[in-house]
Amino acid sequence: MLNGCPSWPKEFKEFYRKEGCWKGETFGGILRERAKGYGNRIAITSGEKNLSYAQLDKRVDQLATGFQTLGIKKEDRVVVQLPNITEFFEVCFALFRLGALPVFALPTHRSSEVNYFCEFAEAVAYIIPDKHSGFDYRSLGREAQLQVPNLQHVIVVGESEEFIGLSNLYMDPIKDEPNISPSDIAFLQLSGGSTGLSKLIPRTHDDYIYSLRVSDEICNIDQHSVYLAVLPVAHNYPLSSPGVLGTLYAGGRVVLSPAPSPDEAFSLIEKEQVTITALVPPLALIWLEAIKSRHYDFSTLKVIQVGGAKFSAEVARRIKPAFGCDLQQVFGMAEGLVNYTRLNDPEEIIINTQGRPMSPYDEIRVVDEDDQDVEPGAVGQLLTRGPYTIRGYYKAEEHNTKAFTSDGFYRTGDLVSLNSSGYLVVEGRDKDQINRGGEKIAAEEVENHLLAHDAVHDAAIVAMPDPFLGERSCAFVISRHQNVTANELKNFLKERGLATFKIPDRVEFVNAFPYTPLGKVSKKKLRQIIAEKLTSSKLTHL
Ligand code: J2J
């Protein structure tokens, strides 16, 4: 087992195996089996390109050989930053087969995040597209190569320039496959983060594949399913709930949308006879608006999932009438626990709750600040442990003592209430994070960047309400001198290579922060201040 990855205690491992949760499968093995069983069936559609299970399996073998030739081996970490293209799957499965670990960066990450992932994970390689959505990723490759000494290879899909072209790495399989154990770590997923930088989440073949199997059952995914991936597939939600990997596990077909907009996605739903897709709440709003004026045949579409951030009941109610399919709410986290509303749940449950845990082996507790269970139905912090929820982050010993209870429950940082039928409603958050329409921002990470500016004496970032994204970010700043502007600070963050979604939407200059009785900056008060300011400015505009 990779160093720095806490695991389940022995008795839990035995229990999850005995109960049949962990069946001893590996990602490399699954693809091989699907290729045997489904050979010519299409696994992935991307534009005009259709890749069958057999073709995918073969290309994965060839690429694994290419990676081996570069010296990439078991337990090596490889930062993978690819958009929704077939190469994402070829790269990941080739790494899985070698026992090398993808570290899943998102396409929106920039040099600040990428360099940190490469450095912290001690990555040997970094894999990128040439260009995507108007951005040239090779510039990130150059920076990473300069800044991160452990990084040996930058591999590019497309025009590789001075780097290694992925297309040159498909070689005839010659070498032996390493032995991969189902209890090995398969990859490192990213946490949304609340303290400082994103933590890395070690997921095993056994635990993740279990979550795919249960997700498939709950979402009725089988070999006839067609999953449209509109969100970036590296994110845990479209990757696994049941997402692209759940679809491949079931022998279904994944259709990749180059962008989430109705322009691209709606015609794909009709043309490819999509049966299920997954959205975040702001995208659901855009789709609801767009469907009013467009006419497509959506008769194959059975389910639209919405998750990643709180979906308001008023909007949730509009999905079924507008699209003629069922809504499924998904409340999950890359650390593990995923809750779903069930497809045959009563309408009011689907609209008003964020679902219930997918597995009977998920343990959840709703507790107060002293870790005591709250009264049934009351709001408290959600703690969880189970067969696919990690017991600790990668190389984060100290943080793990705070993020997990001594008996192994993960502190989700979500404030929830649990109803008498076991369904959860997300009521708020007790972590220093902004959820910008599903994109997570760790306040402390951005604050630290702001503090690096000469003119910034102190900074505190909080969420402010937003009708479209749910939340946007507001930075309260105490400046050292009067003439620094909000735009200067935003540009400064951009120049430091911070992902655009993390750049504060608004900057408020103040002379002092409100404090709690314990002397900490009161973010609650700051959230109130900005919310009131927004309301009153709206009133004056009436
Ligand atoms: C409110 N908050 C939600 C929801 C996530 C499936 C679905 C989502 C994620 C994900 C995921 C929410 N309502 N429906 O990994 O497999 C917030 C919570 C949670 C955090 C996790 C999956 N769905 N959230 O969003 O790791 O605060 O995973 O703890 O990115 O998003 O974020 P992340």
Q: What is the pLDDT of residues 250-260, one digit of tens each?
A: 999 999 999 99
* Alpha carbon of residue 405 to chain centroid: 23
Q: Which residue among 333, 382, 415 is best mutated to probe the pocket of ligand 1, counting the most ligand atoms within 8 A of its Cβ?
A: 333
Q: What is the pLDDT of residues 419-444, one digit of tens each?
A: 999 999 999 999 999 999 999 999 99
Hey, whose CA ends up nearest to atom 25 of ligand 1? 308
Give me the count of residues in the chain: 542
> Per-residue pLDDT for 539 more than 90?
no
Confidence at residue 181, expressed as pLDDT on a 0 to 100 scale:
97
Say what percent of the chain tops pLDDT 70.
99
CA 56 to centroid of ligand 1, rounded, Å = 30
Q: What is the pLDDT of residues 207-225, one digit of tens each?
A: 999 999 999 999 999 999 9
CA 334 to centroid of ligand 1, rounded, Å = 8
Q: What is the pLDDT of residues 336-363, one digit of tens each?
A: 999 999 999 999 999 999 999 999 999 9
| Cα separation, 344 vs 303, whole angstroms | 11
Strand order in the sheet with 380-385: 363-367, 380-385, 410-418, 424-429
Q: What is the pLDDT of residues 495-527, one digit of tens each?
A: 999 999 999 999 999 999 999 998 999 999 999
Measured torsion, CA atoms of residues 393, 396, 401, 403, in degrees rounded to the nearest 10: -50
> Per-residue pLDDT for 480 more than 80?
yes
Hey, whose CA ends up nearest to atom 31 of ligand 1? 308
Please check whether residue 352 is in contact with residue 425, taking contact to mean a CB–CB distance below 8 angstroms. yes
> Per-residue pLDDT for 159 more than 80?
yes
| Cα separation, 250 vs 253, whole angstroms | 9
Hey, whose CA ends up nearest to atom 16 of ligand 1? 237
CA 481 to centroid of ligand 1, rounded, Å = 39
| Cα separation, 242 vs 523, whole angstroms | 35
Residues with CB under 6 A from ligand 1: 192, 236-237, 240-241, 307-310, 329-334, 338, 354, 412, 414, 426, 429, 435, 440
> Per-residue pLDDT for 460 more than 90?
yes
| Cα separation, 161 vs 4, whole angstroms | 36
**3-class SS string, 78-114:** EEECCCCCHHHHHHHHHHHHHCCEEEECCCCCCHHHH
Please check whether residue 381 is in contact with residue 375, taking contact to mean a CB–CB distance below 8 angstroms. no
Confidence of residue 1 (pLDDT cuts 50, 70, 90): confident
Confidence at residue 197, expressed as pLDDT on a 0 to 100 scale:
85
Q: What is the pLDDT of residues 15-43, one digit of tens each?
A: 999 999 999 999 999 999 999 999 999 99
Confidence of residue 483 (pLDDT cuts 50, 70, 90): confident
| Cα separation, 42 vs 522, whole angstroms | 54
Element (H, E) at 56: helix 53-69
> Per-residue pLDDT for 82 more than 80?
yes
| Cα separation, 513 vs 459, whole angstroms | 9
CA 143 to centroid of ligand 1, rounded, Å = 31
Say what percent of the chain tops pLDDT 90.
94
Tell me the average pLDDT across 39-64: 97
Hey, whose CA ends up nearest to atom 2 of ligand 1? 309
Confidence at residue 542, expressed as pLDDT on a 0 to 100 scale:
58
CA 32 to centroid of ligand 1, rounded, Å = 31
The identity of residue 370, as a single letter, is D
Confidence of residue 282 (pLDDT cuts 50, 70, 90): very high
CA 41 to centroid of ligand 1, rounded, Å = 32
Hey, whose CA ends up nearest to atom 19 of ligand 1? 333
Closest CA to 362 of 394, 339, 335, 330: 339
For residue 242, cis peptide bond before it (omega within 30 degrees of 0): yes
What domains lie within the chain, and their CATH numbers?
Answer: 27-180 (3.40.50.980), 192-433 (3.40.50.12780), 437-540 (3.30.300.30)
Hey, whose CA ends up nearest to atom 32 of ligand 1? 333
- The strand ranges marked E within 314-387 are 326-333, 336-340, 356-357, 363-367, 380-385
* Alpha carbon of residue 136 to chain centroid: 22
Predicted TM-score of the model (pTM)? 0.97
3-state helix, strand and coil shares in percent for the chain, rounded to the nearest 5: 35, 25, 40
Lowest mean pLDDT among 186-195, 217-226, 283-292, 423-432: 186-195
Tell me the average pLDDT across 148-164: 98
Q: Which residue among 237, 366, 439 is best mutated to probe the pocket of ligand 1, counting the most ligand atoms within 8 A of its Cβ?
A: 237
* φ/ψ (deg, to 5) at 406: -65, -20
CA 9 to centroid of ligand 1, rounded, Å = 26
Confidence at residue 530, expressed as pLDDT on a 0 to 100 scale:
97
Q: What is the pLDDT of residues 239-276, one digit of tens each?
A: 999 999 999 999 999 999 999 999 999 999 999 999 99
Of all atoms in ligand 1, which is nearest to the CA of residue 191? 26
Confidence at residue 193, expressed as pLDDT on a 0 to 100 scale:
76
The identity of residue 168, as a single letter, is N
Closest CA to 302 of 212, 219, 239, 215: 219
CA 435 to centroid of ligand 1, rounded, Å = 9
Confidence at residue 450, expressed as pLDDT on a 0 to 100 scale:
97
> Per-residue pLDDT for 145 more than 80?
yes
Tell me the average pLDDT across 122-148: 98
Q: 267-299 burial string, b = 16+ CB within 10 Å, else e? A: ebbeebbbbbbbbbbbbbbebbeebeeeebebe
Of all atoms in ligand 1, which is nearest to the CA of residue 414? 27
Of all atoms in ligand 1, which is nearest to the CA of residue 241? 16
DSSP label at residue 166 = G
Residue 417: CB atoms within 10 A of its CB come to: 18
Hey, whose CA ends up nearest to atom 7 of ligand 1? 332
Confidence of residue 192 (pLDDT cuts 50, 70, 90): confident
Of all atoms in ligand 1, which is nearest to the CA of residue 239? 16
Transcribe 372-440 into DSSP letters.
Answer: PBPPTT--EEEEEE-TTS-SS-TT-HHHHHHHB-TTS-EEEEEEEEE-TTS-EEEEEE-SSEEEETTEE
CA 338 to centroid of ligand 1, rounded, Å = 8
DSSP label at residue 53 = H
Hey, whose CA ends up nearest to atom 33 of ligand 1? 333
Transcribe 207-268 into DSSP letters.
Answer: HHHHHHHHHHHHTT--TT-EEEE-S-TTSHHHHHSSHHHHHHHHT-EEEE-SS-SHHHHHHH
Q: What is the pLDDT of residues 368-427, one digit of tens each?
A: 999 999 999 999 999 999 999 999 999 999 999 999 999 999 999 999 999 999 999 999
Closest CA to 92 of 203, 8, 179: 203
> Per-residue pLDDT for 196 more than 90?
no
Of all atoms in ligand 1, which is nearest to the CA of residue 189? 26
| Cα separation, 176 vs 167, whole angstroms | 21
| Cα separation, 474 vs 443, whole angstroms | 10
Largest separation between any pair of C-alpha atoms in the chain = 72
Q: Which residue among 331, 352, 389, 426 is best mutated to probe the pocket of ligand 1, counting the most ligand atoms within 8 A of its Cβ?
A: 331
Tell me the average pLDDT across 177-190: 96
Confidence at residue 537, expressed as pLDDT on a 0 to 100 scale:
83
Confidence at residue 541, expressed as pLDDT on a 0 to 100 scale:
62
Q: Average model confidence (pLDDT) for the chain?
A: 96
Please check whether residue 284 is in contact with residue 319, taking contact to mean a CB–CB distance below 8 angstroms. yes
